[in-house]
Amino acid sequence: MNLFLRLLKLFRFCLFSGLILVSLSLVSGMFLVFYIAKDLPKLPSPLSRIIERPQTRIFASNGQVLTTLGERKTIPLNMVSPDFINAILATEDHRFFEHHGINKLRTLKALYITLFKSGKIQGASTITQQLAKNLFFSFDKTYKRKIKELLVALQIEASNTKEEILHAYINQIYFGAGAQGIEKAARVFFGKSALDLNLPEAALLAGLPKSPTNYNPYRHLALALKRRDIVLKRMVQAGFISGLEARQAMLSKLELYHGQSDSRTGSYFLDALINKLVLKYGEDVVYHGGIKVFSTIDTRLQSYAKESIKKGLERLDTMMGIGGQDVDRPQGALVAIDTGSGAVKAMVGGRDYYKSEFNRATKSLRQPGSSFKPFLYYAAFKDLGFNPATVMTDKPVSIPVKGAANWEPENFSRTFSGNMILKKALTRSVNSIAAQIVEKVGPGAVTAVAKACGIKSPLKDVFSVALGTSNVTPFEMASAYAVFATLGVRHEPFLFWRVEDAFGRVVFEHIVQEKRVLDPSIAYQVVDMMKAVIERGSGRSIRQLGFKRAAAGKTGTTDSYNDAWFTGFTPSLCTSVWTGFDRKKKLIGINRIGITGGKSAAPIWADFMMNALKSEPERDFAIPDNIRFEMVDTKTGCKPEKENKVAEVLRVPLKPGQHLCEKNEQ
């Protein structure tokens, strides 16, 4: 009896406590609503307005759209694969069509787990709550934010149909890889429209919003597939598909789309372009202004550049005995510039953007090695009156340096060959002769030429600058060598031709201006020497690889084999290629011999240029009117003697007043 009375007492206590609790909840709930409501954000009407945003579009030189920034490609629900709708509902909110913004039971369960199971936090956001959060709130985890989010969700539910909410949701969720909204995601990951997604694809995409970075299939395919399988299982549980369909989907092979990976926001070229635009106009204009940017990039050349870098670096891996599993692999960069205008036609900043976004083409400052010598030879021809037939001696040199040990540069071959004309010295990249020249002409003259040609990185005023010890970027080298290609006319390199606002009104136009910075005849003499580098010098692998057009260039390899370059040009296109490790690490082959620019960068250059120029007519460099050619004995700098059958003879271009044998005493 007593027990029964106690139970009754308990029942009475619970009843009245419950009543008081419900009343208190109601009162405090209303208080909260009134208190917080005034700070709630206003909801746009109609809801679809929130996902309409002008897109900034970036075009390639052929008019093809490269990428859109701030894109929200809105599509109606009937243009989305039903499999995706089902998958996202099953994953995120399977009672979406039943609740009014909150799933109370799930919320109570989550609250219980969060409060009573230490270390565990359970989420219970409905699709409407997620929409409210994505549109209006930061990602701070505070109770106040949570309550606000909940109230906004209630308002969204009260003022929109379920279809409108779902439409807004799927068009604004972020899937990673720059894809916002289902249409963009379908195009980015599978190269198809959202309507054409099949079950496995739809399930994979539905799994991404939970953590777009961790489940990014380009980076973490196994995790993404695991998540896809979870989505499929939830679809079975929610009754959208059968177990058999789920199993078939799990077994199906996923084919990710890679075709436009370099055209999405995030390619090296686009990164550089967007940085320029942001510097010029600010982020608001670039990302929210709906501008149209007409870039200089040639998609055909860009695709060749990527392919050449990929193949070239794989070849380098093989030369170095680096396997596919090795994390530390050499990198590469390529920049191609139209010599006639300065327009950047192709840019690759590394072997894989998705593994390293660091743009080595524009940001990596590396020693150019001997590829800096053309600036030295130009300075010597101009200031010292030297010419390609001037004779100097390849011998050990020791140049006194004020306040430091003598500078004693060595040749790559570690041997010395005695007398030779300067054309041969550049062709064979003889350091000892370059050192003697810089001692005579002074490092300031060399840096002045480099700067006139467009090198903007700080250059050290030391003798060794002539051998490329000051850091520069591949972008600078391509731009500076392009000046030789035009025999001394400089065009400022640029990435976009025109910027228009959303209504097509021109905001900016690039005007191609020419500036003569080098004497054309002297520039031609240097170009002729650089042609010989490709014909018979350190860049001869280019001819061996089948590149037959008129071209000039120079290899560059640093003493430590940390950097290997080839920068070269035809009359119309100038390309610089750099290879090396990001960290200071040598490029050493399996045979323990250092890898030079002629072996690693030149083949990439040749491969790219062969493809890039295949549809262009062949033409040679224009010869200035005052240039005459003479045959010269490379050892004496004199006309070759008929009886001397073993003499090496080269053809050299000379300016008026320049004669053979006049500097034999050098």
Partner 1 sequence: MIRQWHEPLDFHEWLKRAFSFLNIAVFIVTAIFVFSEFRFDWFESLVGTYLVTTNEFRPETGAVWETGKQTSSAHEYLNKIIDKKEDVRLNVHQASSFLDLASSVLPGEWVTLEKQQFKILYLSLEKSTALKIIEPARLLWLLKASSLDRIFCEGIPGGVKIYFIDSENRVIKQIDLKKEHILEIENSKKPVAGQLADMEGFLGRIYPAKVFFKAFFKLPADIIPDLIVNPESLLKQGGRIINIGIWNEAENGYIKLGFEFEEKGVKQVVFIKGREWAVWQLSLNLKGDEN
Whichever of 173 and 532 has its CB closer to partner 1, that residue is: 173
> 399: helix, coil or strand?
strand
Number of CB atoms found within 10 A of residue 74's CB: 18
Q: What are phi and psi of 357, to 5 degrees?
A: -85, 0
Q: Which is the catalytic residue, given 61, 267, 308, 370?
A: 370
* CB burial readout 346-380, b (16+ within 10 A) else e: bbbbbbebeeeebbbbbbbebbbbbbbbbbbbbbb
Whichever of 131 and 203 has its CB closer to partner 1, that residue is: 131
Q: How far is the CB of 141 from partner 1 (least distance, A)?
A: 16
Give every CB contact of residue 574 below 8 A, 6+ residues apart in sequence.
336, 337, 339, 478, 479, 481, 482, 485, 567, 568
Look up 357 and say whether it is catalytic. no
Cα separation, 130 vs 103, whole angstroms: 12
Whichever of 153 and 529 has its CB closer to partner 1, that residue is: 153
Cα separation, 547 vs 529, whole angstroms: 18
- Per residue, the 3-state secondary structure of 111-157, as one string, reads HHHHHHCCCCCCCCCCHHHHHHHHHHCCCCCCHHHHHHHHHHHHHHH
Q: How far is the CB of 36 from partner 1 (least distance, A)?
A: 10
Whichever of 15 and 24 has its CB closer to partner 1, that residue is: 15
Cα separation, 428 vs 326, whole angstroms: 35
Q: How far is the CB of 284 from partner 1 (least distance, A)?
A: 4
Beta bridge partners of 496: 295
Q: How far apart are the first and last CA of the chain?
A: 126
Tokens 């940390």 label which residue? 562
Tell me whether the omega of the peptide bond preceding residue 46 falls within 30 degrees of 0, making it cis: yes
Tokens 């044998």 label which residue? 661
Distances (CA, A) of 475 to 69, 179, 333, 472, 532: 25, 30, 9, 8, 24
Q: How far is the CB of 294 from partner 1 (least distance, A)?
A: 11
Distances (CA, A) of 600 to 318, 329, 578: 11, 14, 9
Q: How far is the CB of 165 from partner 1 (least distance, A)?
A: 12
Q: How far is the CB of 39 from partner 1 (least distance, A)?
A: 8
> DSSP state, 215?
T
Q: How far is the CB of 128 from partner 1 (least distance, A)?
A: 10
Tokens, residue 268: 């090296």
> 474: helix, coil or strand?
helix
Strands 506-509 and 515-516: unpaired
Tokens, residue 347: 């840019």
Whichever of 15 and 631 has its CB closer to partner 1, that residue is: 15
Number of CB atoms found within 10 A of residue 138's CB: 8
Q: Which is the catalytic residue, given 61, 71, 81, 92?
A: 92
The CB-side HSE value for 154 (13 A sphere, CA atoms) comes to 9
Q: By the criterion CB under 8 A, which residues form the site for partner 1?
A: 1, 4-5, 8, 11-12, 15, 18-19, 22, 29, 33, 37-45, 50, 53-54, 99-102, 104, 134-138, 151-152, 154-159, 281-285, 287-291, 340-341, 497, 501-502, 505, 507, 509-514
Look up 641 and say whether it is catalytic. no
Cα separation, 30 vs 46, whole angstroms: 27
**Longest CA–CA separation in the chain, Å:** 137
Residues designated as active site:
92, 370
